[in-house]
Structure 1
Amino acid sequence: MAARVMGTLPEEVRAAAARALSTSTFEASWSRSPPAASAGDTALAPLRKRLQQRAPDLAGLRLQLGLTSADEGPRRLRGAMHLADASWVSFAAESPDVAPVPTHTSLPSLSAMALGIVLASLLVVQWITKPLQRLALAVEDFGRGAAPVPLPETGPREVQEAARTFNAMQARIHRLVADRTQALAAVSHDLRTPIQRLRLRAGFLDDLEVQRAIDGDLDEMEGMVESTLAYLRGETESEEPRQADLAAILSTLVDDATDRGASATYIGPDRIPMRLRPVSIKRAIGNLIDNAVKHGGGAHVTVEEAPKDVMVRVEDNGPGIPETELETVFEPFHRLDASRNRGTGGTGLGLAIVRQVATTHGGTVTLANRRAGGLVATLQLPRQHTVGRDGDPPSNGALLSPVTPSGVGQA
């Protein structure tokens, strides 16, 4: 509008007309000489284009746009239009918030900058999360009973503090467990001597009935010591995991129970190669079979194979146990029979040892009452689980021959 009005007025009144058109936010002026060059014209190219679209006449007036320099105070928008008689109408207004628009020359640099930011972010995330992953794996392994292995105290400060605290904690726990096991082992060793002396003296008794009663008490005492040590050894034992045949172990345990006159059967594959601790597994499943024979009249062992795990079920035909006791029976020294006599046997550590062995192998053990009567114990063992830190990862090579170590813990 300023250009149209002043283009029709005589030159002597154009300056006054420009002052009349000025407002508090828009300042207009007229002059014969061209205006001084303004800075920042590249950023205003999109604004010039939009103005020319709104007012096509501006294209013929050779509209110029620029920004005042920072030395002149708050930056303002400055422009000029060329009239037909070669004079100029200049104006100044408040500077709009104009963001630089990327051009075809700046897009590659922006893309490279974005790619660099993404790569740097990935490196930072990996630097932060890798120590946390190591810490999580170490906590999981130590929780399964693996030997303590110090974590490298690297990474961010918070991760270093967590690793340092975890190293101190696992060293302290391992030392406490080792001290307790050593103390109990010393006590058990000292107990064996008086037990053997009492057994020898009982052999000189003339009353055979008293002699058998004393021998029974001594057998019970010796069994309590051995079962307690077996449970405590499970927390610190360092049996190396190796390739073994689980089916051979199960068949051996069932045959041993049958040789003792018990009712025991096995239904499952003839061969189940797995990576495990054979002695521990034999002790755990032997405890389940002994419990089924002792309290359920017989043991029926079945195996179900899956791609990722193996399920071993030991069923009996006994009365079962109350639903409220299905979990508490795994607690050490917990027994349903409070009398603790030799007729019912054991010290309440059999199932505690089973759960301990299952946890060490990364598996689980559960109890459930059968609808048809009796109890079923389910031992779940993962196939590809690496047992503790002392074992190597599962091998893809040839399998070793079946291993059937001896020694079954007392239930």
Structure 2
Amino acid sequence: MRWNDLTLRTQVMSIVLISWTIVGVFSVVTDVVQIRNSRAEEIRNRGDAFLAQVVSTLARVPPDSRSEAALGFFPAEWSVRVGTQDAATTLANGRDRPNLANWLTARLEHRGIAVAELSVADTVVDAKHDQSALLQLFKSHSGEPIDAESVDAFLVSVFSVRLKDDDEWLNCYLLMKNKNIVPLVIVGSIDSLVALTLLCALAFLIQKVMRPLSAMAVNAELIGRGEEVGPLVEAGAIDIRHTIIAFNRMEARIVLALEYKTTLLRSLGHDLKGPIARMHDEIRKLEPTAPKEQLLKRLETISDIVNSVTDLNRETHHDGELARLDLRSLVEALVDEQVEAGRDVTCTIEQSAVVKGRHNALTRVLRNLLENAVKYGGRTSVSLTTSNDMAAIHIDDEGPGIPAEQLETAFEPFQRLGATEPGTGLGLAIVRAIVVDQGGTVTLENRLSGGLRANVLLPLDTGVQPGRKM
């Protein structure tokens, strides 16, 4: 089974287990090497002190008296025997240490002792069950039994030395308590194992598993702003890939629905304009009568509706490419436009704000709101602020305002709220469609001091790019 065919839960568990295994093995191997190096260091140092005393002493003793002199070394963990064989080389189950032998040879020669041969080996002896000659050497020499109950095993190191111009071997035995490596590894590694395992698991999880979800969230935000980001790459665990497939299908259906709406409205306006124009011409050929005038008025009403639908489709369609826009410059230019036309409009801008949007569309939005404010409210003030990654444009007028129950109704198409001047009632509908298309919101509210406030919120540009590649 391939990795991507696993579920997210299985992948997370596998990541944790694999990370634990890798870090655990590495830590255990490191601790084992350190413990063995520490043991070898102890054998070297104690062996050096042992041989420095024993060999230096026996080298000055006549060969005939060395066997008896060897028994005079009193430490319980020491035992010295003089023989004709190299005990270290012939040690049963022994581990040879040639590097240590070379180092000890150099140390003895540095002390003025001429060494012909030197070999080192060690072995572990079970004190509870093994009654070999090695343990008997220490028992008979120390005169006291070894406490086998307190320590399960002993490490016996054998140093065999043959001096120059001498046929006998000085076999020196050093007894040490054998350290159980398992509890030492557990105690020394548990903290690092836990910390490193958690670190590796979390890092791998965030990097590998969560990346497709992050890309999907980015694309969802960009689609909401009206950008065409294309389908996401199907990657990740099988359940995440199924989610991405459903997301891509949803995006395709949304794009198709919008294209269908645009085509439908365009076709509707085009197909109705011709017959209405012909009917209009035919009616005008009739003699002037009251029914004729009524028919003409009704046809003009139908024409206005058709033109309004066409305008709504054109105005809310994506007008230009998305680009980074400086709202400060845009607001100031529109306010200056109103001032030059002799209207009482002022603006207050706290700081610059950069958004990603379509210049022509946003210009149409702000101009529409400004003209409505001036037309129905007289004196108008505009302010620009930023907060929580959003740019806020507030347009305040001093008019009568709108009844609270009609604040949302004002954004519905063909709603004119009792206005007497000519118009289609599509201005605020177009404003909301454009703002929502670019990821923002627009609302109306009555001011406490009187008048109406229009609020336009647009997301600040954060430089986020579509997550097409993962």
Q: Could you say which TM-score interval applies, normalised by the shorter chain?
A: 0.5 to 0.7
Percentage of pairs with the same residue = 29
Say whether residues 1:298 and 2:378 are aligned partners. yes
Cα 1:384–1:232 change in 2 (3 A) is closer
Cα 1:297–1:116 change in 2 (3 A) is closer
Residue of structure 1 in register with 2:430 after alignment: 353
Cα 1:310–1:166 change in 2 (3 A) is closer
Residue of structure 1 in register with 2:369 after alignment: 288
Partner residue of 1:375 out of 452, 456, 459: 452
RMSD between aligned alpha carbons?
A: 4.5
Partner residue of 1:36 out of 100, 119, 129: 129
Residue of structure 2 in register with 1:63 after alignment: 149
Contact 1:241 1:387 in 2 (8 A): no
> In 1, Cα distance between the equivalents of 2:194 and 2:364?
62
Residue of structure 1 in register with 2:242 after alignment: 161
How high is the TM-score relative to the length of structure 2? Answer: 0.51
- Give the 3-state SS of the residue equivalent to 2:449 in structure 1: coil
Residue type of the alignment partner of 1:370? R
Cα 1:35–1:219 change in 2 (3 A) is closer
Residue type of the alignment partner of 1:350? G
> In 2, Cα distance between the equivalents of 1:270 and 1:197?
56
Greater mean alpha carbon deviation, residues 269-278 or residues 185-194? 269-278
Partner residue of 2:254 out of 154, 169, 173: 173
> In 1, Cα distance between the equivalents of 2:335 and 2:297?
30
Residue type of the alignment partner of 1:36? H
Deviation at residue 352 of structure 1 after TM alignment: 3.3
Cα 1:357–1:267 change in 2 (3 A) is same
Residue of structure 2 in register with 1:266 after alignment: 346
Say whether residues 1:343 and 2:424 are aligned partners. no
| Number of matched pairs | 296
> In 1, Cα distance between the equivalents of 2:184 and 2:374?
84
Cα 1:358–1:199 change in 2 (3 A) is same
Partner residue of 1:229 out of 313, 320, 328: 313
Deviation at residue 280 of structure 1 after TM alignment: 1.1
Q: Give a deviation string over 1:97-150, Cα, whole Å, max 9, x none.
A: xxx974279725973685255314421332111111111112222223222521
Say whether residues 1:325 and 2:406 are aligned partners. yes
How high is the TM-score relative to the length of structure 1? Answer: 0.57
Contact 1:146 1:389 in 2 (8 A): no
- Give the 3-state SS of the residue equivalent to 1:304 in structure 2: strand
> In 2, Cα distance between the equivalents of 1:62 and 1:252?
97
Contact 2:316 2:434 in 1 (8 A): no
Cα 1:194–1:121 change in 2 (3 A) is same
Deviation at residue 191 of structure 1 after TM alignment: 3.3
Gap runs ≥5 in structure 2: 1-126, 131-144, 154-180
> In 1, Cα distance between the equivalents of 2:217 and 2:236?
14
Say whether residues 1:191 and 2:272 are aligned partners. yes
Deviation at residue 244 of structure 1 after TM alignment: 4.3
- Give the 3-state SS of the residue equivalent to 1:381 in structure 2: strand
Q: Give the greater-gyration-radius structure (CA).
A: 2
> In 2, Cα distance between the equivalents of 1:152 and 1:216?
52
Deviation at residue 213 of structure 1 after TM alignment: 6.2
> In 2, Cα distance between the equivalents of 1:388 and 1:215?
50
Q: How does 1:49-198 map to 2 (within 5 A)?
A: 63-64=149-150, 102-103=183-184, 107=188, 111=192, 114-116=195-197, 118-194=199-275
Gap runs ≥5 in structure 1: 1-33, 38-58, 68-99, 391-411
Deviation at residue 155 of structure 1 after TM alignment: 0.6
Deviation at residue 169 of structure 1 after TM alignment: 1.3
Residue type of the alignment partner of 1:63? E
Contact 2:392 2:457 in 1 (8 A): yes
> In 2, Cα distance between the equivalents of 1:388 and 1:221?
41
Cα 1:315–1:238 change in 2 (3 A) is closer
Q: Give a deviation string over 1:25-55, Cα, whole Å, max 9, x none.
A: xxxxxxxxx8536xxxxxxxxxxxxxxxxxx
Contact 1:181 1:232 in 2 (8 A): no
Greater mean alpha carbon deviation, residues 380-389 or residues 297-306? 380-389
- Give the 3-state SS of the residue equivalent to 1:362 in structure 2: coil
> In 2, Cα distance between the equivalents of 1:264 and 1:227?
29
- Give the 3-state SS of the residue equivalent to 1:103 in structure 2: helix
Residue type of the alignment partner of 1:375? L
Deviation at residue 166 of structure 1 after TM alignment: 0.7
> In 1, Cα distance between the equivalents of 2:464 and 2:196?
42
Q: How does 1:10-29 map to 2 (within 5 A)?
A: none
> In 2, Cα distance between the equivalents of 1:388 and 1:108?
44
> In 2, Cα distance between the equivalents of 1:146 and 1:373?
38
Deviation at residue 289 of structure 1 after TM alignment: 2.4
> In 1, Cα distance between the equivalents of 2:281 and 2:409?
39
Contact 2:328 2:384 in 1 (8 A): no
Deviation at residue 369 of structure 1 after TM alignment: 0.6
